[in-house]
A and B are shown apart, each in its own frame.
Chain A
């Protein structure tokens, strides 16, 4: 068989793997829902949770589709389809593919990959990302039973501990939103900053670092507004949609903000 990056066989193999992962998600969903009945949980509320999770997922999932499109230009379609459906992310796959190819004296995007280059890229990506998939089976039971015994000893502290983990993660991402604010004082006399990304230099305005801050502000304000509206008896339904609404309106606000500040 003659190899090319969009060979139907590659689509077939990627499709089988994606189907297995989809089956795993469905399996765990059914298992959890069955157990929820045994626990006597409110099924109506759970259905709302499912709807809310589905709606919330749409925008980030479309962003993943865009990453697949970008990567498909250099790696063909089946490989990015698989890599972004099973772990993986745009930046991770780009780094892995670049490392694999540069070791062969090639660069990503220099031309179509041959079979050997494709195999090398595939192995580097797969082996490097594998850790989480096997480490979870290896240690999660111990880790979670540690949490459980903490909860048995001191339930209040265990709750605070969980919340502290969540807040720690959110704080890191809130800090990240501000990471380019320093462009305000590192800009040159013309108010421009040179940024090198993936070997390409681009000139950005000093105020471009404020775009994510403004977007976050809009999203936060929308969430506050939703929170206030939810207190009205007729608007209680909003609680399921508050996060997707703030996400979408924040993203939409990025378009004019980028026009003004970018």
Chain B
């Protein structure tokens, strides 16, 4: 049998893991039904699903197409299972690529982003487990009103630092999309914390267009 390349084996293993996780997740409600002897309220379930699923599927499809090329193969299989991609996994991978000075498209880049995302996933999962075990003593500390503003502002604090690191190296490409997003977010009231996810692909497409023009003109 032909030996699989690293990337091919990542795809094979990733498929097995993700499909297994999917089956296990669906087994949870089934187990609750069996163990506690209840059935779902089917008509309400249909209404609830129609109100929720199409929107999240649309966002999920766009996120997959946008984030997979940034996360790489291993990072994508892990990132889409463990979640918190744009606010944690992707910044973590970007920072790691930057530190190691490797291209996201190289095999080294694939390894570095997988390592960063895996470590980040492990640490997150362990911290949440600790939080669940210690919820009684931790709740008054973490929900103290004095600390609340710090956790409310985690995204600006994250993207300030990340922005400097990335924009300074690519300012020619970054200028136009930053200006466009700034104007849109300031003047369009519908754009807020709830809709920033939808603006990521819009901004990414615009940036690619700007980059292509600059590249063709020999400015990059």
B7 partner residues in chain A, CB cutoff 8 A: 144
Count: A-B pairs, CB below 8 Å: 540
B130 partner residues in chain A, CB cutoff 8 A: 65
B53, A127: Cβ atoms closer than 8 Å: yes
Which of A32, A162, A182 meets B114, CB within 8 Å?
A32
B115, A50: Cβ atoms closer than 8 Å: yes
B99 partner residues in chain A, CB cutoff 8 A: 45, 48-49, 52, 239-240
Whether A160 contacts B173 in the complex (CB less than 8 A), given A65-B128, A129-B56, A170-B162, comes out as yes
- Per CB-CB distance, the 5 closest pairs between chain A and chain B, nearest first, are A175-B181, A250-B157, A219-B160, A168-B204, A246-B161
B52 partner residues in chain A, CB cutoff 8 A: 95-96, 99-100, 124, 128
B100, A45: Cβ atoms closer than 8 Å: yes
Extra contacts, 5 of them, besides A57-B119, A175-B196 (Cβ < 8 A), are A24-B77, A69-B143, A136-B18, A156-B215, A172-B202
Q: What is the distance, in angstroms, from B8's C-beta to the closest C-beta of chain A? A: 8
A132, B189: Cβ atoms closer than 8 Å: no
Residue of B whose beta carbon sits closest to that of A41: B108
A120, B132: Cβ atoms closer than 8 Å: no
Q: How far is the CA of A79 from the CA of B22 in the complex (A)?
A: 16
B125, A165: Cβ atoms closer than 8 Å: no
Question: Main SS of the interface on chain B?
Answer: helix
Residue of B whose beta carbon sits closest to that of A54: B123
Q: What is the distance, in angstroms, from A123's C-beta to the closest C-beta of chain B? A: 5
Q: How far is the CA of A133 from the CA of B150 in the complex (A)?
A: 31
- Interface flag for A234 (CB, 8 Å): no
Residue of B whose beta carbon sits closest to that of A255: B149
Whether A137 contacts B14 in the complex (CB less than 8 A), given A57-B88, A60-B84, comes out as yes
B70, A247: Cβ atoms closer than 8 Å: no
B69, A243: Cβ atoms closer than 8 Å: no
B111 partner residues in chain A, CB cutoff 8 A: 32, 35-36, 39, 41
B48, A217: Cβ atoms closer than 8 Å: no
